[in-house]
Amino acid sequence: MNHRPSTTVILAMTADGKIADERRSPARFGSAADKAHLEEQISLVDAVLFGAGTLRAYGTTLPITNPDWLQQRQERSRSPQPIHIVCSASGKIDPQLRFFYQPVPRWLITTAIGAQLWQGKREFAKILVFETKDKLIQSLDWSEAFTQLKLLGIEKLAILGGGELIASLLKADLIDEFWLTICPVILGGREAPTPVEGIGLSQQQRQRLELLIVKQVGQEVFLHYRLQHYSSQNNRQEKMGQ
Ligand SMILES: NC(=O)c1ccc[n+]([C@@H]2O[C@H](COP(=O)([O-])OP(=O)(O)OC[C@H]3O[C@@H](n4cnc5c(N)ncnc54)[C@H](OP(=O)(O)O)[C@@H]3O)[C@@H](O)[C@H]2O)c1
């Protein structure tokens, strides 16, 4: 893992496992405590990463405003705000979004075609192109991207959703931890997104987690999990002679 940033997914989820409603509206069901938890987690990292779908839903990102977190970053010689990295294969993001006026550094991870849309523009301080070799589908080479992010000084990365991005990163075995906030609401709906979209895993392929922390604040439960990586799972199974 030393060749890439350590990664933590941070998400709020309904009691029935949804991260948004069927219209994919911004998730507004978390409490003030959940927002403070998200801000604290963001204050601990060098960069945050989110999908273009999440940016299109919210139009904004979450800058750190809590003076304590800002001071702690200063004491650790970190910039006031982590880098906010958007991933978009198409590069099609509305430049009028409020995000582009927020006081945070912005990077884009995209394809060569996506990068062309932002050539000569100032919205993103850095545009990183990581394509898979398959030219027929526009998809990103996440292993290469994460290696480069580490070389660019990003040691700790928070992944803020949505489900499509998380599915890709889980498939590439690039997620180390999850912070899930279970909120006391139900949204239901077949089309409402969950933390991991994509085609899913069979029971045999299931991704195992280790529960590290359970914390209740008011009506919400904060769960901190560590993923058991495929390599460590395999090693363990080999050791157990399975
Ligand atoms: N509850 C929560 O904590 C929380 C947090 C975040 C988001 N959400 C919700 O989640 C929903 C959005 O999630 P989502 O799954 O629809 O979208 P998403 O993962 O945020 O973004 C999907 C888009 O990001 C780009 N992308 C993601 N993975 C990619 C990959 N592997 N390769 C290339 N491009 C990739 C593509 O952009 P292009 O189309 O531009 O190519 C894709 O269409 C919203 O409703 C939002 O409210 C909830």
pLDDT tens over the chain, length 242 residues: 689 999 999 999 999 999 999 999 999 999 999 999 999 999 999 999 999 999 999 999 999 999 999 999 999 999 999 999 999 999 999 999 999 999 999 999 999 999 999 999 999 999 999 988 766 566 799 999 999 999 999 999 999 999 999 999 999 999 999 999 999 999 999 999 999 999 999 999 999 999 999 999 999 999 999 999 765 555 545 444 44
What pLDDT does residue 229 have? 76
pLDDT of residue 230: 60
Find the 238 Cα to ligand 1 centroid distance in Å. Answer: 36
- Listing DSSP states for 144-181 in one string gives HHHHHHHHTT--EEEE---HHHHHHHHHTT---EEEEE
Task: Find, among 129, 132, 134, the residue nearest to 118 by Cα.
Answer: 129
Q: Whose CA is nearest to atom 5 of ligand 1?
A: 161
pLDDT of residue 241: 43
Give the separation between CA 10 and CA 106, rounded to whole angstroms.
19
Cα 227 from chain centroid (whole Å): 15
Shortest CA distance to 124 belongs to which of 52, 223, 189? Answer: 52
Is the CB of 195 inside a 6 Å radius of any atom of ligand 1? Answer: no
207 in Cβ contact with 201 (< 8 Å) = yes
Contact 177, 8 (CB under 8 A): yes
Cβ(193) to ligand 1 under 6 A? yes
First to last CA, the chain: 25
Residue nearest to atom 17 of ligand 1 (CA): 53
pLDDT of residue 132: 83
* 11 Cβ below 6 A of ligand 1: yes
With a 6 Å cutoff on the Cβ, whether 171 touches ligand 1 is no
In this predicted structure, what is the pLDDT of residue 136? 57
CA neighbor of 172 nearest in space, from 133, 143, 139: 143
CA of 162 to the centre of ligand 1 (A): 4
Q: 42 in ligand 1 pocket by Cβ < 6 Å?
A: no
How many angstroms separate the CA atoms of 222 and 213, rounded? 8
User: Hey, whose CA ends up nearest to atom 33 of ligand 1?
Assistant: 89
Q: Cα 118 to the chain's mean position, in Å? A: 22
How far is the C-alpha of 222 from the C-alpha of 228, rounded, in Å?
19
How many other CB atoms are there within 10 angstroms of residue 52's CB atom?
Answer: 22
